[in-house]
Each structure stands twice: as C-alpha cells, then as structure tokens.
A = this chain, B = another copy of it.
Amino acid sequence: MSFADRHAQALELTAAAGADVLLCADPANVHWLTGLACEIETGPSPFAPGPLVLLSRGEPVRLIVSDDELPATLPEGVATLSYEGFTTGPLDGPRHAQRLVGEALDGRTPVTDQFDGLGPALLDARAVKDALALAELRRALAVADAGQAALRAIGDDAIGASEIELFSIVRGAMEASAGTRVPVLADLVSAPRTASMGGAPSDRLVHDGELILCDLAPRVGGVWGDSCATIAVGEPPAAARAAHARVTQALDRAIDAVRPGVDAAALDRIARGADLDYPHHSGHGIGSSYHEQPRLVPSATGSLREGMVIALEPASYAETFGVRLEHVVRVTADGCEVLSRHRLELS
C-alpha cells in the first residue's frame, strides 16, 4: 500500500497548509504520487504540457495527462483525466489540460508543489524511502553499476578514444541493462577536466596516464540511480594515487558514520575530515529526483532518518586532476546498507 501511504502524507501536508487541494506539476512528485515516469529527455512537448496531479481528501487522486503519456496501469486510488495530445487537428493540449484542471478544482484554490507552496514539504516526505522506492532504487543503481563496469572494462583501450565515445559505450551498457532508453545525468571527463569537478563528455581524447572521472545518474522507471568512480588509464601520477587513497578513506569514514539521528552537517564534516575541502556537498538523497533530502552540506540542519537513501561522494580536486568516489547507502536501524555495487579502485 505504498501509494496509499504517500497520498495520505500529501493530504496531511495539504491540510496543514490550510488548503483543500494540492496541485503537483514537478515530475518527481508526479512520479512519487502516481508511478508515472513522464517524458523528460526532449524538453517540453509541443503537443501537451506535462502531467499534473491533483489531490483532495475524499476524492481519487487525479492524474491529468495527455493520451500521449497515458500509463498502461495506475496504482489503486489514482484516476486519470486524459485529453488529446498529438493530433492532426489543432494542437490544443494546453487548453485541454487547463480546462480539466479547472473542472477538477471546481472553484477551489490549490496549494501547489512549487518552492513557495508544498515543494519543500513534499521533498521532505519523499526523503524516507518506502519498499517500492527502495526496490526501484536498487534497479536504478544496478543500471548505474552496469555503466561503471562498462567503462572499467574498456581499460587501456580508452587511450585515444574521446570522452563522448567512452560515454556512448557507458550509456549503451546502461540502456542494454535497463532494456530501454534511460535519461542520464552524467559527468564524464578526463584529466585535466577532472580538476573542475565534472562536466559533460566532450570530444577530448584520453591519453595514457590520465584519470577519467565518471559520475552516472540514470533514471530508471522514474527513480534515479547515482554512482561515481575515478579510474586511471595506464599509470597515473603518484599524487593522484595518494588523492584516491584519501578519498577512499573519506568515503569509508562517511559510510561508517551513517546511522539514524546523525546530523547531516556532522556527516558532511566527517566525510571532509581534516584533509579534504571540495566545493560541493558530501552527499544528498536520491529518489524521484536526482538531488533530494537530506543534503550533506555545512549549512544542513536536519538529521538522518532510517529509510533515507543517500549518495555519499567525497572528493579531492588538485590543480591538474580530481578524484571523486560515490556510493549510495540506505540508512538502517543501526547503520547503513551500501546499495551500489560498482568498483572504486583507481586501476
């Protein structure tokens, strides 16, 4: 009854905000409330706006969606209001959607899932993963693992290849593993680009003795995996080996420190230790979005709760190279379980 619990949580938050109706447009909330992983890879559709979800106590959850994206099945408690999207007639998707929302609201003013509405509260509700989310995360992480394994398998054949060629192999492995296309947020950079934390794969050619930093976040069925490894092609500089060892220790420290009740800010400090000072978070939640609560940053205020799923990603960036390593863990009653299974060694 995962979805019923999610709906109940969303309705409680809506009532606490003094509203009768919640209207969600964020694809992450649409997925969390209905299971629909809407199209995102090609930007806004010229045929219809993205799916919307409307919740109100005592009514079925309404998924307002064009027939282009109508899901084959829906969880119990969710009903669709669908309209014509792609057509050889006039393209009136936005107008249709607006009319259906208006009819469903029936004069009521909704609270939305934007940042000045229930956005932050829903983000918080999504932070603790239920059984369904956990199963989806395991699947997404297995797909990320397949991508990391494919890069590692290339070995010294990466010499002379471009970053974008390597990425095509990596993405191909992930999509073969998923059996379908998967949106991917990714860094795939080679030295000296590794020094700048990341970036999109380019036509830069990889040379002997360089590092490759590969951070893969594939979205599988609406949930995002995440993983990062930094590997050497040939023999890397000694300083890179030392940095890799420090980051490995930092990741181990962070994993050892994860348990319910630990402050997110404290975990961030533990990961950085005395010797690392990277300009990004030490980690973050993942789920229906690729960056969720908790955020492991110096300014964080909350603490870890059992069931949270957190990507831990300490790093070390020098002038000419950078190393980042990432594992995803689930907070258990007394520690954590490491969910990602990719290898982390430098070579």
Q: Does A145 contact B (CB under 8 A)?
A: no
Q: Does A202 contact B (CB under 8 A)?
A: yes
A172 / chain B contacts, CB cutoff of 8 Å: 165, 168-169, 171-172
Contact pattern, A 143-171, Cβ under 8 Å of B = 1, otherwise 0: 00000000000000000001011011101
Which residues in window 80-136 of A have CB below 8 A to B? Answer: 86, 88-91, 94-95, 114-116
Which residues in window 25-67 of A have CB below 8 A to B? Answer: 26-27, 40-44, 46-47
- Cross-interface CB contact of A219 among B42, B178, B292, cutoff 8 Å: B42
List 15 A–B pairs whose Cβ atoms lie within 8 Å, in order of A's numbering. A27-B44, A42-B183, A46-B289, A46-B290, A88-B281, A88-B298, A94-B114, A94-B115, A94-B116, A95-B115, A164-B176, A168-B171, A168-B172, A168-B176, A172-B172
Q: Does A9 contact B (CB under 8 A)?
A: no
By beta carbon, the residue of chain B nearest A301 is: B90
A165 / chain B contacts, CB cutoff of 8 Å: 172, 176
Q: Does A138 contact B (CB under 8 A)?
A: no
Q: Does A74 contact B (CB under 8 A)?
A: no
Interface size (A, Cβ < 8 Å)? 54
Q: Does A291 contact B (CB under 8 A)?
A: yes
How far, in angstroms, from A42 to B86 measured CA to CA in the complex? Answer: 22
A297 / chain B contacts, CB cutoff of 8 Å: 88-89
Q: Does A279 contact B (CB under 8 A)?
A: yes
How far, in angstroms, from A95 to B181 measured CA to CA in the complex? Answer: 34
A201 / chain B contacts, CB cutoff of 8 Å: 175, 180-181
A90 / chain B contacts, CB cutoff of 8 Å: 299
Known: A46-B289, A289-B46. A299 touches B176 (CB 8 A): no
Is B40 a contact partner of A43 (Cβ separation < 8 A)? yes
A47 / chain B contacts, CB cutoff of 8 Å: 291
Q: Does A200 contact B (CB under 8 A)?
A: yes
Q: Does A185 contact B (CB under 8 A)?
A: yes
A344 shortest CB reach to chain B, Å: 23
How far, in angstroms, from A183 to B45 measured CA to CA in the complex? Answer: 13
Q: Does A203 contact B (CB under 8 A)?
A: yes
Is B115 a contact partner of A185 (Cβ separation < 8 A)? no
User: Which 9 pairs from chain A and chain B are nearest by CB?
Assistant: A168-B172, A40-B43, A179-B203, A94-B115, A46-B291, A88-B297, A42-B185, A164-B175, A41-B41
